[in-house]
Chain A
Amino acid sequence: MIKTDILIIGAGPVGLFTVFEAGLLKLRCHLVDALAQSGGQLTEIYPKKPIYDIPGFPSILAGELVENLMEQIAPFKPGFTLGERAETIEKLEDDSYKLTTNRGTEINAPIIAIAGGLGCFEPRKPPISNITDFEDNGVEYIIRDPELYRDKKILIAGGGDSALDWTILLSDIAKEVTLVHRRTSFRGALDSVDKVMELAQSGKINLITESQVVGLNGGDKLDSVVIKNKEKNEKPIDVDHFIPLFGLSPKLGPIGEWGLNVTKNAIEVDTLDYSTNVPGIYAIGDINTYEGKLKLILCGFHEGTIMVQSAFKRIYPDAKLSFKYTTVAGVNGFD
């Protein structure tokens, strides 16, 4: 089991900067994030967008800000568990928490800081009423192993890069590939679009445009999908697998079931120290809410800074904490 002082859920900018402020108080941090890389939304959705309201930076690209934060916190040697979603928490006898991820990784800490931003990014599921009946039984939102589709009939829905890329790759593996897209044009990389058009012309894949998947049929497993075209005509297509690829959307996820007070997908906190209603659990950044809340990175930095002071007092109730400026004390990292 991994042990640390502050377990931070969410490796976005606020989670990352909290490592720095905790480090100044000699507290160690471990971060967990459902995404495979650090940076949260900044890396996942807008790495190339400039941000103009980070104090001291007239303009900085979101991706650069994350790189800088990683450099800034490096002396404090944070641990990372990436690509795993924080799933359950359990309170141990010593009042500390044990968090278990969806892949079974266990992390123990006296303090949990939820810096989960918008929540965890999960695949967008098409609004088909019985879709959950076939999940992992013919419906997959993420392709983990292309070999699963060898000699199978598959249908991919979507018009972005991942729909195009997987159509191309699986056209060599699967018995039959059908790509269904809502419009006639595709927004993906030009090369991929050309390649898909070529495959369609040569009859290697079936390309169905101006259509959407509206129904699923089957018993124990998926047998066919129903597609509806612009003229509202429906027709079934026999398939073994249906792979909807519509990108990721953020959901609060399992955190919503931890007994925290939640309003409109945000965790209520006390602005004194950004603590939640559960002792030892704090919430900072976009995921929290309080009167006057602004969802800004710079406000999240402030919240993390105030929060670690309270965390220190909780971990060391008898120790005296003297506040020192980095200009006076410098940054003394961990060995």
Chain B
Amino acid sequence: MASIDLIKKNTTFQLMDDIIKITVIDREDQIHELEAPTDMAMSLMEVCRSYELPVEGTCGGMALCASCHCYVLSDHELHEASDDEESMLDQAFFVEDNSRLGCQIRMSNDLEGLQVKLAPVD
């Protein structure tokens, strides 16, 4: 049994190598479990859009609008926000300490289990 388990694990590991599972809670508190590829340089905003969640991504991902504003609920260590991102958050509303712009969060393997909630739109 042990050996079969090991093979299964390995197979799963290989198949899922470039995919992580993340959780997005939308503005109606609906929970969405998403699978996000980590080898396509996708941002959280783009992943949400590909699942047709209500994330506009108006500026296309340049941190120039706040339509992908979200709250990071899990305790993942994200890279620090750039000046552009901070300055955009300064112009956004409903900003909290855990606010980030989804377009600035790149999908990578260390974000497995990431949990975010979409911020209200103004």
B94 close to A (CB within 8 Å): yes
Inter-chain contact A247/B122, CB cutoff 8 Å: no
Inter-chain contact B87/A187, CB cutoff 8 Å: yes
Inter-chain contact A182/B87, CB cutoff 8 Å: no
Determine the distance from Cα of A45 to Cα of B31 in the docked complex, in whole angstroms.
34
Inter-chain contact B91/A127, CB cutoff 8 Å: no
Enumerate chain A residues within 8 angstroms of B64, measured Cβ to Cβ.
45-46
Q: Which of B80-97 contact A (CB under 8 A)?
A: 83, 86-87, 90-95
Stretch in B37-45, B55-63, B70-78 touching the partner: B55-63
Enumerate chain A residues within 8 angstroms of B95, measured Cβ to Cβ.
182
Stretch in A75-83, A118-126, A317-325 touching the partner: A118-126
Determine the distance from Cα of A75 to Cα of B1 in the docked complex, in whole angstroms.
80
Which of A46, A125, A182 lies at the interface centre, i.e. has the most chain B CB atoms within 10 A of its CB? A182
Q: Which of A250-305 contact B (CB under 8 A)?
A: 250, 295
Enumerate chain A residues within 8 angstroms of B87, measured Cβ to Cβ.
160, 187
Instruction: Count chain A residues whose beta carbon lies closer than 8 angstroms to a beta carbon of B.
Output: 21
Q: Which of A116-146 contact B (CB under 8 A)?
A: 118, 124-127
Inter-chain contact B90/A127, CB cutoff 8 Å: no
Enumerate chain A residues within 8 angstroms of B58, measured Cβ to Cβ.
118, 249-250
Determine the distance from Cα of A246 to Cα of B65 in the docked complex, in whole angstroms.
11
A110 to chain B, nearest CB (A): 32
Known contacts A127-B120, A127-B122, A187-B86, A247 near B62 by CB under 8 Å: no
Enumerate chain B residues within 8 angstroms of A249, measured Cβ to Cβ.
58, 65, 122
B30 to chain A, nearest CB (A): 19
Inter-chain contact A160/B93, CB cutoff 8 Å: no
B118 to chain A, nearest CB (A): 15
Known contacts A182-B90, A182-B95, A45 near B59 by CB under 8 Å: yes
A46 to chain B, nearest CB (A): 6
B83 to chain A, nearest CB (A): 7
Enumerate chain B residues within 8 angstroms of A250, measured Cβ to Cβ.
58, 65
A192 to chain B, nearest CB (A): 14
Inter-chain contact A126/B91, CB cutoff 8 Å: no
A15 close to B (CB within 8 Å): no
Determine the distance from Cα of A249 to Cα of B58 in the docked complex, in whole angstroms.
10
Known contacts A182-B95, A295-B60, A159 near B65 by CB under 8 Å: no
Determine the distance from Cα of A46 to Cα of B122 in the docked complex, in whole angstroms.
22
Inter-chain contact B83/A124, CB cutoff 8 Å: no
Q: Which residues of A contact B (CB under 8 A)?
A: 41, 45-46, 49, 118, 124-127, 158-160, 181-183, 187, 246-247, 249-250, 295
Provide a sorted-by-A list of 28 A–B residue pairs whose CB atoms are within 8 angstroms. A41-B59, A45-B59, A45-B62, A46-B62, A49-B62, A118-B58, A124-B91, A124-B122, A125-B122, A126-B93, A127-B93, A127-B94, A127-B120, A127-B122, A158-B91, A159-B91, A160-B90, A181-B90, A182-B90, A182-B95, A187-B86, A187-B87, A187-B90, A246-B91, A246-B92, A249-B58, A249-B122, A295-B60
Q: A187-B86, A187-B87 are in contact. List 18 more A-B contacts (CB 8 A).
A: A45-B59, A45-B62, A45-B64, A46-B62, A124-B93, A125-B122, A126-B122, A127-B93, A127-B122, A158-B90, A159-B90, A160-B91, A181-B90, A187-B83, A246-B91, A247-B91, A249-B58, A249-B122
